[in-house]
Amino acid sequence: MVEEPAGFEAVVEEEIKLEELLDKNLTPEEKERQKIRHEIEKLIDENPEDAAQVIRAWLAEDAR
């Protein structure tokens, strides 16, 4: 098991609170864009080859 550095939990909790505050100031459209961005980042992290294929398809579509 990896030991976390001292104060790690406090930093993580602070970051989460900051993110919550920032989310409250977003419009519904901005929240939707943020949600989509997080989903795309997750796809890239979990399946980079699939993400690359999606981008290739978009580029091919734009080239038409």
Q: Is 56 contained in some domain? A: yes
Q: CA 62, 42, 48: angle at the middle one, nearest 5?
A: 60
How many structural domains is the chain composed of? 1
Q: Is 62 contained in some domain? A: yes
Q: Is 52 contained in some domain? A: yes
What DSSP character marks residue 9? H
Q: How far apart are CA 15 and CA 23, in angstroms?
A: 12
pLDDT tens, position by position, 3-60: 655 565 655 566 666 666 666 778 889 889 989 998 989 999 999 999 999 999 999 9
Q: Is 20 contained in some domain? A: no
Q: Is 12 contained in some domain? A: no
Distances (CA, A) of 55 to 18, 36, 38, 47: 32, 15, 16, 13
Q: Which of 11, 8, 38 is nearest to 23 (CA)?
A: 38
Q: Is 11 contained in some domain? A: no
pLDDT computed for residue 24 by the predictor: 72
Q: Which domain holds residue 34?
A: 28-64
Q: Is the pTM value of this prediction over 0.75?
A: no
